[in-house]
Amino acid sequence: MLTVLYPLAIWLGHGRVEPRWLAGLLLLAAATRLPSLAIGRAARWSAFGALALAACAVWENAMLPLKLYPVLVNAALLAAFGYSLAVPPSMVERLARLREPQLPDAAVAYTRRVTQVWCGFFAVNGAIALGTALWASPAVWSLYTGVIAYLLMGLLGGAEYVVRMRFKRLHHV
């Protein structure tokens, strides 16, 4: 919930609260990721990056490091999903095997393609988040990172579900 509300809090605090105090929100967001640190390298780098951004925000008393957090999250997800393409099984295959341990070859190929699509999403979403952080107003940044990006993620997830149901029907999976 904190991650979803983070852009709104930064936008509301912009001009009202010093960035060094808003950095506490980023520290809290990083703290929520502590349980996942044992899971993998991407989680550790993401937490370290969040701490570095918070430190920069405190040191410089600047908003930009706080606005870069969504960029960091997308980069970490892109790294994790991309790495799984280089070192199989793909991320989506790993998730699929939690429900269906015996996946046919066609399903493995499908999950690899879905992982590639998510990599594309994280790359584009991160680039837009970076662009809004650097060149857009705080309201536009907050709208994109706090609303539009989540709607796009949900739309992609929903579209993938529809395609997956069709795939299963066609391949009798």
pLDDT, greater one: 24 or 106: 106
pLDDT of 35 > 70? The answer is no
pLDDT of 8 > 80? The answer is no
C-alpha 48: how far from chain center: 15
Distance in angstroms (rounded) separating the CA atoms of residues 91 and 116: 10
Residue-range definition of the domain harbouring residue 98: 2-171
Q: How many domains does the chain have?
A: 1
Which pTM value belongs to this model? 0.88
Distance in angstroms (rounded) separating the CA atoms of residues 81 and 83: 6
